[in-house]
Amino acid sequence: MVSPTKAQIEAVAQKIRTTLGATAYIPLPERQRMSLEEPPMKASIWVSRTSFIAPKDEEDGIRHLLSQAITTLGSQEASITVPAACDIDVQWTGFKPSTDAGDLGPALCSEKVKYDSLMKDTRTSMTVFFIYGGAL
């Protein structure tokens, strides 16, 4: 296999620079910031976001009940550490009739207004629950 020469590499780099133009360079921190922003929803979909706040850890809380169930059902030699409860961010989504594909809809209205509009346009009582995760 023949390795490219320095002149060939510089020629390719120059071709890429001229093709992409001067605006192609964006510093890495800026790219990272841009990747964290959620673009507004387009098309015929309602999206309403909310958060469920984690309950305070109490003696009869969910962590205690989970730990108690595992201890009762498991072997006595095993030990576990139950993680702390955390807030859950969710989004309700649904079909939005009579909108254009590029319509941003009421992007500036409150999440409550979006949820109420979603429920007004809902024709069935069916709910599909998706669970997806990521790094915390």
pLDDT along the chain (136 residues), means of 10: 87 82 74 76 79 72 79 77 79 79 64 87 80 60
Q: What is the pLDDT of residue 101?
A: 57
Q: What is the pLDDT of residue 108?
A: 65
Distance CA(43)–CA(41), nearest Å, equals 7
Q: What is the pLDDT of residue 88?
A: 83
Distant-in-sequence, close-in-space partners of 104: CB < 8 Å, separation ≥ 6: 40, 41, 42
- Other Cβ atoms within 10 Å of 61 Cβ, number: 14
Query: What is the domain partition of the chain in residue ranges?
Result: 6-121
